[in-house]
Amino acid sequence: MKGRSNSSPVVAVAMSGGVDSSVAAKLLVDQGYQVIGFTMMLVPPSPDRPEFDDVRGKFADAVESARRVARLLGIPHHVVDLSAEFERKVVSPFVRSYEFGFTPNPCLWCNPAMKFGALFAAAREFGAEKLATGHYATVRFDPQKRRWLLLRGRDRGKDQSYVLYGLTQEMLGRSIFPLGDFTKQQVRKMAKEFGLPSAAREESQEICFVGPGGYAALLQARGIRSVPGDIVDLEGNVIGRHRGIVHYTIGQRKGLGLSRERPVYVVGIDAEKNRLIVAERDKAYFSGAYLEGFNLISEERLEGPVQATCAVRYRGKEVPCTLEVEGQGDKATVFFHVPQFAVTPGQGAVLYQGDIVLGGGIIVRAWR
């Protein structure tokens, strides 16, 4: 930032208008940083994308809420239109994943690609040296390993280290997570004490670019047709019909339309043959998974199998496992010491050693 006299670092804060990012910004201001607020506009404002009609208002509300907080804190605020990049790096891959029978978690791509990638690149034009978010996680430098480490947040019920496993060493080195040592209850209390207008704002648990019609409506708008097909058992016997594989996920029991003596669950999605594979619950447990896009964080490389714990979904229960990294390090295999229910292609498998994130990747296949 040209002409500044203050020697403290310039920190860009990703402000969604919610309580977490608002309190993060306030804490940084109080700590003496030069803070600039940024809000990402992730859907195009023009009506040429009607599938986003129902969420444009949500983004507009977020912008206005962030502006009010920035005015109260006395910091600059900028809206950055990243809709084209968001379409290319998040929305399009999300849509395509369903064609392969995956159940994607777009936050796993959005964080490294958008917040810590595209947004920081835009913030650097304003002099930003660091990027802060309202995530409940912690980052620290290990001088012995000479690596940045990602750790869980103090609030285990809100810990968001799972969705940050894709951050590179460079990204972690310029990241600040002001809420890592606080609980959600403490953050809510601070927001009220600070008089932040976002203190009472409800927390959204939904995918930000999906409207009330759900992801199926978005897929339909993008030309992904729900083609009915066969439901088969493990022997390949046809036992029913499904309404399109995009409506189902591994571990699903309801909505199958089957009348069976004992409940059955989706244990496989064969996108090539447009089939659902179902079985009783004991067959929905998996012994291991193959991962792609693996990002190793706490170590530069691994020599041989490594013991860790693994979560196969956001806020999922961790289990002991053995990790083996393959090839150039971007592929890995996880062997669960205890079989896991509904290990789902498209979700992330994140590995921990204590509170430290060892690394993670996208599940592409699981086996019983």
Helix, strand and coil content of the chain, in percent to the nearest 5, comes to 30, 30, 40
Beta strands in 63-176 (DSSP E): 77-81, 130-132, 137-142, 147-152, 175-176
The closest alpha carbon to 181, from 37, 73, 23, belongs to 23
The C-alpha atoms of residue 120 and residue 302 are separated, in whole angstroms, by 30
Residues shown for the chain: 368
Amino acid at 341: F
The C-alpha atoms of residue 61 and residue 78 are separated, in whole angstroms, by 15
The C-alpha atoms of residue 296 and residue 321 are separated, in whole angstroms, by 16
Amino acid at 138: T
Task: Reply yes or no on whether 208 is catalytic.
Answer: yes
The C-alpha atoms of residue 123 and residue 132 are separated, in whole angstroms, by 11
Q: Do residues 21 and 38 touch, judged by C-beta distance below 8 A? A: no
Amino acid at 165: Y
Greatest pairwise CA separation for the chain in angstroms: 75
The closest alpha carbon to 280, from 338, 233, 236, belongs to 233
Q: Do residues 80 and 38 touch, judged by C-beta distance below 8 A? A: yes
Q: How far apart are the first and last CA of the chain?
A: 55
Phi, psi of 200 (to 5 degrees): -100, 5
Enzyme catalytic residues: 110, 208
